[in-house]
């Protein structure tokens, strides 16, 4: 039977969490009374996650597993699962039980009210102070730059109507940020508050470097404001430099040539060189992404889809 609900879960080295996850998720799904499927994407795990997931397909007929042949990142893992999903409503979830599966019916009810994208706001977020502060800044910057109204970009417990999923499935971008991408296709977005828990087992799969990369995906993938801001800053600096030159010119006639203050000038110079290199970096970030896109390489490689094989 065609599922009504599709649950999508990216998995990267989550062997300690998967059994607890399915033990909580499966009863919640049964209780909805709707036909459902649970799609895991194994994002190139190096631990026993894939084996555990494959075992699930033998126990739970609703489970399907997309097996990647490498680590392509959380958002690509979700994209791949979207492509094989069939539900009318698709819900994304993290594998580490930071998003309580018990909140799923709340999201479903919100979609059934007629919304096509339902985001979530984490109540009492259980993450480090650094992560929470960084998220707050990213949320503000993203809202300003993209003009999208979303409270909590980082929370992956979200629900999408099939129409939005079909639109997302037509996107071929090699790096993306799913909540923002979905928001661009939403005609009636909504948000609900959900509980948040600490990661059950293991550590966050995002190193500081990966986190910075991810946020670059969000900033550059959905807005060219960084480039525009930089151009604006360039214009302002040039104007200030002209003003400064005029000042020095006049000063020369009044008090004569100056030699003192050379190092102050150096400091100012280094500051602007720093800004210039930063700007080249931003431009490079966009150019790199354009290059990545024009090569048209596969965004991810699916080795095999396990479970419910007869329906492929």
Give residues in contact with Mg ion (CB under 5 A): 94, 96, 98, 199
Q: Closest separation between CB of residue 139 and ligand UDP, Å?
A: 14
Q: How far is the CB of 206 from ligand UDP (least distance, A)?
A: 5
Query: In this structure, what DSSP letter does residue 102 have?
Result: G
Minimum distance, C-beta of residue 26 to ligand UDP, in the bound complex (Å): 17
Q: What is the DSSP letter of 44?
A: S
Tokens of 179: 């909540």
At its nearest, how many Å lie between ligand UDP and the CB of residue 194? 14
CA distance 81 to 72: 13
- Structure tokens belonging to residue 145: 């730059």
- Partner interacting with residue 196 (select from ligand UDP, Mg ion, none; CB below 5-8 Å by kind): none
Q: How far apart are CA 146 and CA 101, in angstroms?
A: 30
- Subset of 284-303 contacting ligand UDP (CB under 6 A): none
d(CA 225, CA 18) in angstroms, rounded, equals: 40
- Per-residue contact flags (x/-) with ligand UDP for residues 205 to 224, judged by CB under 6 A: xx------------------
71 is a site residue for ligand UDP (CB under 6 A): yes
| CB of residue 95 to Mg ion, shortest distance in Å | 8
Query: Count residues contacting ligand UDP (CB under 6 A)?
Result: 17
Q: Which is nearer to Mg ion, 84 or 156 (CB)?
A: 156
Using CB under 6 A as the binding rule, whether residue 126 contacts ligand UDP is answered as no
Q: Between residues 7 and 77, which has the closer beta carbon with respect to ligand UDP?
A: 77
Q: Is 307 in the site for ligand UDP (CB under 6 A)?
A: no
Question: Which pair of structure tokens corresponds to residue 113?
Answer: 């009210």
Separation between Cα atoms, residue 281 and residue 10, nearest integer Å: 31
Tokens of 32: 């909805």
By the rule CB under 6 A, 14 interacts with ligand UDP: yes
* 254 half-sphere exposure, CB direction, 13 A CA radius: 6
- CA-wise closest residue to 39 among 101, 102, 89, 82: 82
For the CB of residue 305, give the shortest distance to ligand UDP in the complex, in Å.
16
Alpha-carbon distance of 32 to 140, in angstroms, equals 36
| Minimum CB–partner distance for residue 137 and Mg ion (Å) | 19
3-state secondary structure string across 128-186: CHHHHHHHHHHHHHHHHHHCCCCCCCCCCCEEEEHHHHHHHHCCCCCCCCHHHHHHHHC
The only residue of 3, 6, 7, 10 in contact with ligand UDP, by rule CB under 6 A: 10
C-alpha 62/C-alpha 60 separation (Å) is 5
> Binding segment for ligand UDP among 88-96, 183-191, 244-252, 271-279 (CB under 6 A)?
88-96
- In sequence order, the 6+-apart residues with CB closer than 8 A to the CB of 43 are 10, 11, 12, 68, 71, 72, 73, 74, 76, 77
- Binding ligand UDP (rule: CB under 6 A), the pick from 3, 12, 91, 110 is 12
Instruction: Please choose which of ligand UDP, Mg ion, none residue 164 contacts, taking the beta carbon within 5 to 8 angstroms, the exact cut-off set by kind.
Output: none
Q: Does 95 bind ligand UDP (CB under 6 A)?
A: yes
* Interface residues toward ligand UDP, by CB under 6 A: 10-12, 14, 43, 71, 73-74, 77, 94-96, 98, 199, 204-206
């Amino acid at each position: 039977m065609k599922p009504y609900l599709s649950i999508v879960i990216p998995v990267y080295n989550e062997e300690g969490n998967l059994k607890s996850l399915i033990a909580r998720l499966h009863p919640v799904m049964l209780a909805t009374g709707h036909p459902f499927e649970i799609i895991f994407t194994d994002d190139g795990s190096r631990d026993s996650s894939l084996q555990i997931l494959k075992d699930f397909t033998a126990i739970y007929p609703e489970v399907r597993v997309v097996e990647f042949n490498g680590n392509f990142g959380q958002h690509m893992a979700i994209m791949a699962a979207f492509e094989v999903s069939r539900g009318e409503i698709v819900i994304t979830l993290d594998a580490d039980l930071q998003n309580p599966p018990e909140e799923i019916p709340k999201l479903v009810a919100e979609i059934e009210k007629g919304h096509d994208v339902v985001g979530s706001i984490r109540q009492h977020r259980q993450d480090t102070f650094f992560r929470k502060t960084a998220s707050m800044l990213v949320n503000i910057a993203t809202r300003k730059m993209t003009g999208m109204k979303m409270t909590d970009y980082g929370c992956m417990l979200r629900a999408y109507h099939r129409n939005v999923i079909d639109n997302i499935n037509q996107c071929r971008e090699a790096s993306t940020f799913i909540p923002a991408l979905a928001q661009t296709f939403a005609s009636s977005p909504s948000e609900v508050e959900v509980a948040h828990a600490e990661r059950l087992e293991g550590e966050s799969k995002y190193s500081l470097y990966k986190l910075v990369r991810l946020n670059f995906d969000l900033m550059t993938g959905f807005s060219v404001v960084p480039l525009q801001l930089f151009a604006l800053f360039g214009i302002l600096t040039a104007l200030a430099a002209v003003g400064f030159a005029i000042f020095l010119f006049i000063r020369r006639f009044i008090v004569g040539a100056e030699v003192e203050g050379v190092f102050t000038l150096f400091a100012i110079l280094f500051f602007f060189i720093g800004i210039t290199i930063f700007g080249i970096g931003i431009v490079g970030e966009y150019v790199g992404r354009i290059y990545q896109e024009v090569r048209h390489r596969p965004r991810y490689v699916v080795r095999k889809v396990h479970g419910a094989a007869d329906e492929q």
